[in-house]
Amino acid sequence: MPVADMIICVDCGGPCQRVPAEPPELGWQPGDVVAYRCRDCADVWYLEVDIDDLED
């Protein structure tokens, strides 16, 4: 499963866009921390990239 462009906000159910939207030049690495900002409540969520996220 690839790193998601968007997740659903745990608090309000709104869409959270990945910040920044562009993937890193060299691709994602396990342990990278990806931020998602909620459009509706402006909460920021941080997810760590897992090795499973990088395998198809």
Would you call 44 helix, strand, or coil by DSSP?
strand
CA angle (42 as vertex; 41, 45 as ends), nearest 5: 110
Q: Give the nearest distance from C-beta 6 to Zn ion in angstroms.
A: 12
Residue 9 interacts with Zn ion (CB under 5 A): yes or no: yes
Q: Do 32 and 51 contact (CB within 8 A), yes or no? A: no
12 binds Zn ion (CB under 5 A): yes
The structure tokens 């998601």 sit at 4
* Residue 4 or 41 having the CB closest to Zn ion: 41
Residues from 13 through 32 that contact Zn ion (CB under 5 A): 14
In the complex, the residues that contact Zn ion under the rule CB under 5 A are 9, 11-12, 14, 38, 40-41, 43
